[in-house]
């Protein structure tokens, strides 16, 4: 009887040890197969515990904008400005921080207004570039005097967080020359876009990589990266 119990105990210990070895081997194989960039992407998506040999956030390629990460012939995610409702989720639900969604400006549509509703807070006491007068929470819009009464507005994409507040103001009271787009020098092209999954207007869709932008008045176009 005691010998039988000892055999069962030894068998359980053997199985536990075998499963432990298999688990560690599989994890190591997965880490090696993914490579450095793949491990980093998994870390960003699932957290620190997914990989025991993670590169660390300081070296994460997702935080370093570079050339477009897709090739001609593939499909990429884009935001349709005709369906966008400026809900703010582009700023909060992208896997990147700051978001890969940025405000873009079509100058051909702009009225070069002195009172730009995409730039100034509603009820701003003075039409100056003081921070308390600006609508953008990140200070990402630059205002430049052209000639009376015209001013030019440009977007600093390094500061833009994709919140859409300027877009909402421009669409409500202006010409709608400001709108949001996924910038493909930043986007990592997730199989399922996190923003698209949470978009209340279902404004995201896939477009050809060689025509990755949806511009008002045009079906698609290629903005400079």
Look at residue 216 in the predicted model and tell me its pLDDT: 82
Q: Are residues 80 and 56 in the same domain?
A: no
Q: Are residues 137 and 185 in the same domain?
A: yes
pLDDT tens profile 83-131: 999 999 999 999 999 999 999 999 999 999 999 999 999 989 899 999 9
The residues, any chain, with a CB within 8 Å of residue 132's CB and separated by 6 or more, are: 121, 124
The model's pTM is: 0.65
Q: Are residues 85 and 180 in the same domain?
A: yes
Q: Are residues 56 and 79 in the same domain?
A: no
Total domains, the chain: 2
Say yes or no to pLDDT of 186 above 70. Answer: yes
Q: Three-class SS of residue 44? A: helix
Cis bond upstream, residue 147 (ω within 30): no
98, 160 contact by CB (below 8 A): yes
CA distances from 171 to 56, 82, 107, 160, 179 (A): 41, 11, 14, 18, 8
Say yes or no to pLDDT of 65 above 50. Answer: no
Look at residue 174 in the predicted model and tell me its pLDDT: 92
- The band of 63, judged by pLDDT with boundaries at 50, 70 and 90, is very low
CA distances from 119 to 77, 103, 143, 176, 180 (A): 27, 12, 8, 12, 15
Q: Which domain holds residue 6?
A: 2-60
What is the arithmetic mean of pLDDT over 147-152?
Answer: 96
DSSP per-residue codes, 75-97: EEEEE-TTT----SHHHHSSSSS
Backbone angles phi and psi of 164, in degrees to 5: 85, 5
Q: Are residues 175 and 80 in the same domain?
A: yes
Q: Are residues 87 and 195 in the same domain?
A: yes
Q: Three-class SS of residue 211? A: coil
Write the DSSP symbol of residue 188.
Answer: -
21, 28 contact by CB (below 8 A): no
């Amino acid at each position: 009887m005691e010998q039988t119990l000892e055999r069962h105990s030894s068998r359980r210990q053997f199985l536990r040890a075998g499963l432990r070895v298999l688990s560690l081997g599989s994890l190591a194989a997965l880490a090696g197969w993914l490579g450095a960039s793949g491990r980093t992407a998994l870390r960003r998506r699932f957290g620190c515990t997914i990989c025991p040999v993670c590169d660390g956030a300081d070296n994460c390629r997702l935080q370093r904008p570079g050339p477009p990460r897709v090739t001609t012939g593939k499909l990429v995610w884009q935001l349709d400005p005709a369906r966008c409702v400026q809900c703010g989720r582009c700023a909060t639900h992208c896997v990147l921080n700051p978001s890969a969604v940025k405000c873009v400006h079509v100058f051909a549509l702009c009225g070069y207004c002195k009172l730009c509703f995409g730039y100034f807070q509603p009820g701003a006491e003075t039409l100056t570039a003081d921070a308390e007068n600006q609508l953008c929470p990140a200070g990402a819009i630059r205002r430049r005097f052209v000639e009376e009464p015209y001013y030019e507005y440009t977007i600093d994409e390094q500061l833009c967080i994709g919140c859409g507040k300027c877009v909402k103001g421009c669409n409500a009271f202006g010409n709608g020359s400001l709108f949001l787009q996924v910038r493909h020098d930043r986007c990592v092209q997730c199989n399922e876009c996190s923003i698209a999954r949470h978009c209340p207007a279902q404004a995201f869709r896939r477009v050809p990589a060689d025509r990755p932008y949806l511009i008002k008045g045009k079906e698609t176009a290629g903005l400079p990266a």
